[in-house]
Structure 1
Amino acid sequence: MTLPLSIPGDAMAPTEAPRAPRWTRLPIVSHYRQSVGLQRGMLVGGLVLTGIFLLTALFAPLLSPYGFSQLRGDNGAFGATQRPSSEHWLGTTQGGLDVLSRLIWGTRTALYVIVIAVLASIIVGVFLGLVSGYFGGWLDRVLIVIADAVYSFPSLLLAIVLAIVISGGQSDMWGGIFAAALSITVVFIPQYLRVTRAEVVRIKSEAFVESARVIGASNFRIMTRHVLRNATRTLPLILTLNASEAILTLAGLGFLGFGIEPTAAAEWGYDLNKSIADVSSGVWWTAVFPGAAIVLVVLGLTLVGESLNDLADPRLRKRAAGAEPVEDLGVQLPPAADVAGKAGAKDSTAPTDSTAPPATKSGEGES
């Protein structure tokens, strides 16, 4: 006869898993902890490029050796098409401007356009998408038709037309920035409208929205407190992608001559336009560095947006082979091999009942 195994009650009591620190649940930090392998490399590379762009734009007056339209220094005029040297690290342009200074000040112009265009697009697009998806009816049909009509135009062509209408093609610094930002805003509004509308149509039929209607909540309260909060979770992903598109649209406007005047602000597209004639004469630095700046900034923003999109979608999220720590819950899971080994050891040491009858072969019978 075997004695039953006694297990203390405290040993079987569940222990509360320690929660991760609050800062680890921030959007970018939590996405970084979820990423693995190539995903993490893409996210880190995009964050580094984007961080360099933001820091350069914020500290442009401290980093730039000269002004964006400065032609003379302490030793006199800079001179035209000077090769990169210790005095001018990236050389000078055909007009005698310092390329490095134009490059640094151009980051600030691009940042202004991105912030104004994206913020205006989000405010207008989310509002129209919320109203369209929640109320539906004829208003929904009219807004969708207008959004489709805007989609039918090429984005750059529409931005050129609006830039000409708003500022006559060229203007001072803030006039040109607002003209470029507003022309980009009109292109981006239909994207936010359609994304928000699709989410609102899905969410307004949920049980918690119906419960809010039953208890007498107003439409404004339901839209702002319940629907809006759940319908804008994918907007940060679109924001990063639209920021890179805003850079390209601004550069296209400047390259075609519809951007900001060179004496008002530095702009990379305008510098590329003026460097076309220099390339054929062997002056390569006036085109390479502004073009590389556009490519790197767009690449950084695109990598961040694509990485966040992959990590936000469970179908696209990849996990490394083998067991991984569940970082969101703060619990470390043991490897599968250890679990199987412990289970096998438990089975081998389990007590057996000596009074059980021995097994008989199929060929033996009772006498």
Structure 2
Amino acid sequence: MIDRSLSVLKVALGSFKGRVAAAWLLVVIVAAVFAPLLTPYAYDLQTLSQAFQPPSASHWLGTDEFGRDLMTRLMYGARTSLSVSVVAIGLSVSLGLVFGAIAGYFGGRVDRAITVVVDLTWSFPEILLALILVAIIGPGVTGTLLAIGVAYLAQFTRLARGQIMSLRSETFVEAARSLGASDSFILAHHLIPNTLAPVLVTAMLATGDAIILEATLGFFGLGAQPPTPSWGGMMSSGTAQLFRAPGIILFPGLAVALTVIAINIFGDALVAAMDVRSRERKA
């Protein structure tokens, strides 16, 4: 499994676009993880006398209306936006794999019950469902994380269910069952591992959508609450200063756009690499 994943990753990085996208994602991740070491400023340090400073050697991207360093807030905002999006999609993937595996393997009433509940959440647009859940849970990082996780749960449940249904009648499953393996053993050791590749690629592509959704909630003031920075929150505060200091809204907007584009490009490269490996195995 690990060798196959490394092989697919190597093929994905073989294209120029894949390498550029991976490089940008690496830069964003490093900036988010090592933000305290990469900037001498605190993200909430206010120096009103330094408000609306243009980019300079001291402040590479300038300062906002409170004199806070924009580069610093952009890096800490990446930490908030990426962590919320990745953890939320991870929650969706984990629960989706469990629900989808149970529904696809056992079928019948269990399948119908899970499918009805999942389809009910899927009938709402992600942003509408997220707004409803945040209104119930309350604004903040936790509310945003749970809202995004529930919003994308149906997608992974449906995907896992379809994969399990196509695999449950395979010879290796029948062999495991004839040897006395329990249903839980077959699911955990045979079926779910064989569904991970398409699920994880879909999860990566969904992470880009989750970043946009998190930024949207932050823009509406429903995401991370001040002074904690997030890309959406930074864009929201920059709307009032659009003509005086456009960088306040421009830089986090570019960060969101470039990161989502990079995720989609690298995700497409992974899909293409998986198709290549699949064709090679068939040949």
Distance 2:9 2:60 in 1: 38
Residue 256 of structure 2: aligned partner: 294
Q: Does 1:270 align with 2:233?
A: yes
Do 1:166 and 1:179's aligned partners in 2 also have CA atoms closer than 8 Å? yes
User: 2:41 is matched with which residue: 66, 69, 74?
Assistant: 66
Residue 5 of structure 2: aligned partner: 27
Inter-CA distance 32–315: structure 2 relative to 1 (3 Å threshold)? closer
Aligned-residue CA RMSD (Å): 2.3
Q: CA deviation at 1:31?
A: 3.5
Inter-CA distance 26–290: structure 2 relative to 1 (3 Å threshold)? same
Q: Does 1:304 align with 2:275?
A: no
Do 1:272 and 1:287's aligned partners in 2 also have CA atoms closer than 8 Å? yes
Bigger shift: residues 249-258 or 225-234: 225-234
Distance 1:164 1:83 in 2: 37
Equivalent residues in 2 for 1:64-213, closer than 5 Å: 64-72=39-47, 77-167=48-138, 169=139, 176-213=140-177
Q: CA deviation at 1:28?
A: 4.7
Equivalent residues in 2 for 1:198-277, closer than 5 Å: 198-263=162-227, 265-277=228-240
Do 1:159 and 1:187's aligned partners in 2 also have CA atoms closer than 8 Å? yes
Q: CA deviation at 1:177?
A: 2.1
Output the amino acid matched with 1:180.
T
* Contiguous gaps of at least 5 residues in structure 1: 1-22, 170-175, 318-325, 329-367
Distance 2:135 2:77 in 1: 22
Q: Output one character per residue of 1:73-122: Cα deviation in whole Å (capped at 9) or x when no partner.
A: xxxx4432122222222111123222111101111112321232122112
Distance 1:34 1:150 in 2: 33
Inter-CA distance 106–35: structure 2 relative to 1 (3 Å threshold)? closer
Q: CA deviation at 1:316?
A: 10
Distance 2:265 2:278 in 1: 15
Distance 2:125 2:53 in 1: 39
Do 1:250 and 1:269's aligned partners in 2 also have CA atoms closer than 8 Å? yes
User: Percent identity between the aligned chains?
Assistant: 33
Distance 1:150 1:306 in 2: 27
Do 1:156 and 1:249's aligned partners in 2 also have CA atoms closer than 8 Å? yes
Bigger shift: residues 43-52 or 94-103: 94-103
User: 1:50 is matched with which residue: 3, 25, 28?
Assistant: 25
Do 1:122 and 1:192's aligned partners in 2 also have CA atoms closer than 8 Å? yes
Residue 341 of structure 1: aligned partner: none
Distance 2:144 2:44 in 1: 20
TM-score, with structure 1 as normaliser: 0.72
Output the amino acid matched with 1:266.
P
Do 1:64 and 1:105's aligned partners in 2 also have CA atoms closer than 8 Å? no
Output the amino acid matched with 1:64.
T
State the SS of the aligned residue for 1:300.
Answer: helix
Output the amino acid matched with 1:147.
V
Do 1:35 and 1:311's aligned partners in 2 also have CA atoms closer than 8 Å? no
TM-score, with structure 2 as normaliser: 0.92
Distance 1:217 1:268 in 2: 49
Q: Output one character per residue of 1:213-244: Cα deviation in whole Å (capped at 9) or x when no partner.
A: 22222111111122122122212211211111
Distance 1:34 1:255 in 2: 34
Bigger Rg over Cα? 1
Q: CA deviation at 1:29?
A: 5.1
Q: Output one character per residue of 1:281-313: Cα deviation in whole Å (capped at 9) or x when no partner.
A: 342211111111111111111111111112212
Distance 2:41 2:25 in 1: 24
